[in-house]
Structure 1
Amino acid sequence: MDFSSFNFEPALQEGLDAMGFEQPTPIQEKSIPVILQNKDLIACAQTGTGKTAAFILPVLNKICQSGSSSLNTLILAPTRELAIQIDQQIQGFAYFLGISSIPVYGGGDGVVWEQQKRALVTGAEIVVATPGRLIALLAGGKIDLKSLKHLILDEADRMMDMGFSDDILKIVNYLPKNRQTILFSATMPPKIRQFSMKILNQPEEISIAIGKTAEGVTQSFYSVYDTQKEDLVANILSQKSYEAVIIFSSTKEKVKNLYRALRKKFDVEAFHSDLDQVEREKIMSAFKNKSVKILIGTDIISRGIDVVGIELVINYDTPSDPEDYVHRVGRTARADKEGEAITFVNPKDQYKFTRIENLIGMEVNQLPLPEGMETGPTYSREPKKSKSGNKGSFKKKPFNKNPKSNFKKRSNDQASSQPQQSKPNQEPNPSGTAKKPGRFGPRKNVVDNGE
């Protein structure tokens, strides 16, 4: 099917034609009819599948049909970056409709606060907000939400992880009960289903490829020591003139350190929570415009960054949550493009990576380290066992219910008469321990020997 099958208003269809939208993605194909029928909806689909358009397009169509200019739709998003991105997409789709939207998020100065408050009071058909800033504005009064027809929660699982469930329930108390509520999420843990029962009314459910990565992504990994990572990432980046690369690290401190190491040779920027809002917007704009080629960040950029044409994603640290891997990898191969995802796996993270493989339903190809680099750790998909051979097996001493026997005090004579146990001699460090690797030559073309 194509977008004309939805019978959108001519002005909206004209906008889609101008933007080159022809065929809907699976999540759009299934979600749009449900939303047009005014039913509540729980939709689950991986990142990069067109979820934003799936809820924006039918809502814009209904606003266009109603002819109303009052506040119609509230979209809640977990981060300011995602709120800004959704607002930008609304502006693109609504170009021929005359429908206005405004992003409401924290991090700005007093001028931004007044602008957001004025827009909510005077009216915008669609508001895209982070929960914390919206609650602060609602607490000030003078904001009328009685005309609201749609409540949309985007990246609901992320909002739950960030502790926004209570804030969302507070916001819901300001809204009319007679509304359509739509919940989009990349994953569907039990807490999302439990939460949805509080705010949705007999919702339809749609699930698309949960936990699967896009088909256009070539996935691989290196088994490395932490001391090898910096040189390895530099080697990878030097093999090709990349136009858009995202490197994910586990902490903002590692992001800063890697940025300092790479900025001498590469066009790179660091993106982390210590930057103020103006700096973050400036960096993200430069990355989208390709004036910055490489972006280093934490999982703050694993969701809500819609940049078509990202060629390479590097997981500098293996993500602890397998679902975070899916979100990170989902930054590439968007809009039916192709991309590459490379993960660095150190010895202690091998079990994490096995869990990732279990989630995505495939074994990821291991690449040999570049020529000139010292050997990395041996990778094993088998769970580690204790020295006794039984993982985690031990016996507890029985607890005597008589407190006197459990906590009997020793006299000074008894304490002094008992000889102190000496510590056993420690075994010397094995000679095979890997040394800190040095510099190495260019990476050779990799051939999968397993094929």
Structure 2
Amino acid sequence: MTFSDFNFDANLFEGLNSMGFKTPTPIQAETIPIIKDRHDLIACAQTGTGKTAAYLLPVMDAICRTPDRPPISALILAPTRELAMQIDQQVEGLAYFTGITSIAIYGGGDGIGYEQQRRALRDGVDIVIATPGRLIAHMSSGTVRLGEIQFLVLDEADRMLDMGFKDDINRIVREVATERQTLLFSATMPPKIRSFARGLLKHPQQVNIAISQPAERILQQQYRVTDEQKTPLLKQILLSGQYKSVIVFSSTKEKVKALGRELKKLELAVQPFHSDLSQEEREKILLRFKNKQLPILIGTDVLSRGIDVDGIDLVVNYDVPPDPEDYIHRIGRTARAERTGTAVTFVNHRDLRRFAAIEKLMERKVAETPLPEVIGKSPELTAEQQTPKKRNKKRRFGPRKKREGAA
């Protein structure tokens, strides 16, 4: 199958060609026909599978074919400003020959940015990509007209619920036209998402591509360490010179800042990325990283879903994430676009059970790599740590459809 099989509007198809898109990914091949047939949709798909284009292309195709467009044709809700910006950039690329307009609505900017958003919402724009909180702020000022929206998309719905946006989303949905097409994309599909979807969608079709399996091209390694060994080991890895583009994930912004200070002492080109930075600073950092002007980025899990950069060859989990799905998202930053990559995780004694849960979710073991001699020996496991207690807690991840390969 190629994109020509979808019979997109000629101008949209020209934009596709100019961006080098030839063959649809599995999620695109399955969802585009459903969306074009105007069905509501629940799609389970991980970041990196091409899900953004999976909904943008049929929505933009429909907008191209609508002669009398409403003030706002499509509303896309996203959990973070980084993802909203990423979606907007993809719209801009695809829409180059179509005349379709878009605006990203998110917080954290200056007064000028807010005024630009307000003016676009007041005057009308084809596609609005928004974080729920900032859109609510604009709605409260009376500048948003959502009553004629034809398409409502919830991207990374699981993350939006985890971040506490459920009430905001419900408030937004009450203002949106009832006669609309609703598309919900989520990396996981726990019961709370299915229950939430039932209240929003009408007789939805379902597609499940996500299987919580990282790409086979990722070399996964784990180091068993003490807390004191983590930073020296990280320094050793980064100073080896093997890797040109690196993301280091840590659990808190305080630790991100501390690691940034430590690594800068080694004269490494490194930049911490956290919520205390201004929006302008965050955008500049991401642009430098994307353009390969900044080799090392340190951040929290906001980076695991909000960054779309090819060519990252190393991901380091300085801390094991509490949610196994977050591990999948983190290491999925590498080995994109058919490249290979390495994912390294530092596992201390407190994280043994967390990492075991990750291995269970992936249905594979991650090989333990011996520590370099200069770092010392790995801590010995106690008898209890060698035979972790069995938990009665039900696995919160639903059944997943298996497929060969990885997008």
Question: TM (normalized to structure 1)?
Answer: 0.84
In structure 1, the partner of 2:22 is: 22
CA contact (8 A) 1:246 1:296 kept: yes
SS of alignment partner, residue 367 of structure 1: coil
- Mapping of 1:211-290 within 5 angstroms? 211-264=212-265, 265-290=267-292
Q: Letter of the aligned partner of 2:217 in structure 1? A: G
Cα separation, 1, equivalents of 2:391 and 2:37: 54
State the 1:241 CA deviation: 4.8
CA contact (8 A) 2:77 2:130 kept: yes
Q: Letter of the aligned partner of 1:190 in structure 2? A: P
CA contact (8 A) 1:99 1:125 kept: yes
Q: Letter of the aligned partner of 2:262 in structure 1? A: A
State the 1:65 CA deviation: 1.1
Which has the larger displacement, 164-173 or 261-270? 261-270
Stretches of structure 1 lacking an aligned partner (at least 5 in a row): 393-451
Larger Rg over CA atoms:
1
In structure 2, the partner of 1:4 is: 4
Deviations 1:296-321 (A, max 9, x none): 00011110211111111000001111
Cα separation, 2, equivalents of 1:364 and 1:37: 43
Percent of residue pairs identical: 57
Cα separation, 2, equivalents of 1:15 and 1:203: 29
Deviations 1:114-161 (A, max 9, x none): 111110110110000000010111111142222210000001000000
- Mapping of 1:34-433 within 5 angstroms? 34-69=34-69, 70-264=71-265, 265-378=267-380, 382-384=386-388
Cα separation, 2, equivalents of 1:282 and 1:274: 14
Cα separation, 2, equivalents of 1:359 and 1:384: 16
Which has the larger displacement, 330-339 or 304-313? 330-339
CA contact (8 A) 2:118 2:143 kept: no
Cα separation, 1, equivalents of 2:109 and 2:391: 52
Which has the larger displacement, 234-243 or 182-191? 234-243
Question: Could you say if the C-alpha distance between residues 283 and 178 of structure 1 is closer, same or farther in structure 2, counting changes exceeding 3 Å?
Answer: same
Question: Could you say if the C-alpha distance between residues 22 and 378 of structure 1 is closer, same or farther in structure 2, counting changes exceeding 3 Å?
Answer: farther
SS of alignment partner, residue 366 of structure 1: coil
SS of alignment partner, residue 91 of structure 1: helix
Deviations 1:269-294 (A, max 9, x none): 00011111111111111111111110
Deviations 1:200-245 (A, max 9, x none): 1111111113211112211111000110011111111122253311
Question: Could you say if the C-alpha distance between residues 15 and 391 of structure 1 is closer, same or farther in structure 2, counting changes exceeding 3 Å?
Answer: closer
Question: TM (normalized to structure 2)?
Answer: 0.92
Question: Could you say if the C-alpha distance between residues 391 and 24 of structure 1 is closer, same or farther in structure 2, counting changes exceeding 3 Å?
Answer: closer
SS of alignment partner, residue 152 of structure 2: strand
SS of alignment partner, residue 306 of structure 2: coil
Question: Could you say if the C-alpha distance between residues 350 and 22 of structure 1 is closer, same or farther in structure 2, counting changes exceeding 3 Å?
Answer: same
Cα separation, 1, equivalents of 2:324 and 2:238: 25
Cα separation, 1, equivalents of 2:27 and 2:106: 27
Which has the larger displacement, 266-275 or 365-374? 365-374
CA contact (8 A) 2:188 2:210 kept: no
Q: Letter of the aligned partner of 2:140 in structure 1? A: A
Question: Could you say if the C-alpha distance between residues 391 and 270 of structure 1 is closer, same or farther in structure 2, counting changes exceeding 3 Å?
Answer: closer
State the 1:384 CA deviation: 3.5
Cα separation, 2, equivalents of 1:225 and 1:120: 52
Q: Letter of the aligned partner of 2:292 in structure 1? A: K
Stretches of structure 2 lacking an aligned partner (at least 5 in a row): 393-407
State the 1:376 CA deviation: 1.2
State the 1:373 CA deviation: 2.3
State the 1:336 CA deviation: 2.0
SS of alignment partner, residue 39 of structure 2: coil
SS of alignment partner, residue 152 of structure 1: strand
State the 1:379 CA deviation: 5.5
